[in-house]
Structure 1
Amino acid sequence: MKKNSLDKASWENRYTNSQIGWNIGYPSTPIKAYIDQLEDRTIKILIPGAGNSYEAEYLWNKGYENVYVLDFAKQPLENLKHRVKIFPEDQLLNCDFFDLNNQFDLILEQTFFCALSPNLRKRYVEKMHQLLKPNGKLVGLFFDFELTKSGPPFGGNVSEYTSLFEESFKIKTIEKSINSIKERQGKELFFIFESP
């Protein structure tokens, strides 16, 4: 069964051909602000569909050594390893997110959910619930624009996201992002969902 409308080879080709419009070249401002208020540097963190992983690099440089980076494509993981030479190989996960079997205290979401075919959203919620430890948090950004058939990125809105996640998570926050990068201002929602 095909798990994504874009297979592994398609994602690899996007990196090879520099078709990576989501890549901003530095940590996303809302995610960076969230990281900056964290205190426990021992927590186990996952960044799925991490791309070039500037957030992982930022976390690592701040002393968070229990960071796992997952991507379907190998090239972005190699790009992170090139920038952070001591990043542990066993924390670079080149696999399908839906095949991952582990648990985390915090999962950071940015440009992964919106890259998945919308018909995988319920599965995404189930998998995130499975991957989080009790009281673990799923934190990040969703796009706030009409869900269309064209994509990625695929959009949505507060009520759609709330109804999708509320059965499996405590919705702590879901609101307009006030510190998005210029290109995404007014188009992002910042959220914090907690695993029961």
Structure 2
Amino acid sequence: MDTFLNDEYWSQRYQNKQTGWDIGEVSTPLKAYFDQLADTSVSILIPGCGNSYEAEYLLAKGFQNITLIDISAVLVERLTEKLQFYIEKGSCKVIHQDFFAHHGQYDLIIEQTFLSAIPPTLRPDYAKQMYQLLKPHGKLVGVIFGINFEGGPPFGGTPEEYLPLFEPYFIPVVFEQCYNSILPRAGNELFVRLDRR
């Protein structure tokens, strides 16, 4: 299980271009959500950020307070180079860290394939950590897989499995199948907006 949580495993996957989860652009359900956000000063965390197309999109729209975390040193080095302009400007931070060791307070946390990268046994810790990282009235928003996979990662699940994990900490405002997934993921994604209790 620990294999999926270490730097070596994920860095090797990036080095070998074994990144089947990477769609090469901002996810369409998240893009639609971002396009209705008006306050560009909100503090945003993207854990397990991957290649951070979502962050690039938000930064290009003028968002000023984005923090990216990933456990892969290889990826963090690439992102630091790619996002150097925004890092120097102070609108973006890229941190090499285990999500479960992170401390901070955010208005909004974006979920995009991160939940599917961690073993299901850690999902209760994931929900609790998300709660602790959000400010009062903060939101956890994103896209999670609504199907099960053999083996893993990715690790999938169903709404019936996910909801009990989140309900102690969050009010599920939206928890439904995405209507605007990219074609290869159509019918397999859930859009979630969870408001911190």
Amino acid at match of 2:162: Y
Q: 1-side partners of 2:115 and 2:188: how far apart?
A: 15
Q: Paired residues, what number?
A: 194
Q: In structure 2, what is the equivalent of residue 194 of structure 1?
A: 195
Amino acid at match of 1:116: I
Contact persistence 1:177–1:190 (CA under 8 A): yes
Contact persistence 2:176–2:190 (CA under 8 A): yes
Q: Could you tell me how far 1:187 is from its partner in structure 2?
A: 0.4
Cα-Cα RMSD: 1.5
Amino acid at match of 1:135: H
Q: In structure 2, what is the equivalent of residue 146 of structure 1?
A: 148
Q: 2-side partners of 1:45 and 1:5: how far apart?
A: 25
TM-score, normalised with respect to structure 2: 0.93
Contact persistence 1:4–1:116 (CA under 8 A): no
Q: In structure 1, what is the equivalent of residue 41 of structure 2?
A: 42
Q: Could you tell me how far 1:113 is from its partner in structure 2?
A: 0.4
Contact persistence 1:8–1:72 (CA under 8 A): yes
Q: 2-side partners of 1:160 and 1:190: how far apart?
A: 15
Unaligned runs of 5+ in 1: none
Q: In structure 2, what is the equivalent of residue 178 of structure 1?
A: 179
Q: In structure 1, what is the equivalent of residue 70 of structure 2?
A: 71
Cα 1:182–1:155 change in 2 (3 A) is: same
Q: 2-side partners of 1:34 and 1:19: how far apart?
A: 28
Q: In structure 1, what is the equivalent of residue 132 of structure 2?
A: 130
Q: Could you tell me how far 1:3 is from its partner in structure 2?
A: 5.1
Q: 2-side partners of 1:19 and 1:113: how far apart?
A: 18
Q: Could you tell me how far 1:102 is from its partner in structure 2?
A: 0.3
TM-score, normalised with respect to structure 1: 0.94
Identity of aligned residues (%): 46
- 1:1-196 alignment, distance < 5 Å: 5-88=4-87, 91-146=93-148, 148=150, 150-196=151-197
Q: Could you tell me how far 1:141 is from its partner in structure 2?
A: 0.9
Q: 2-side partners of 1:134 and 1:3: how far apart?
A: 32
Unaligned runs of 5+ in 2: none
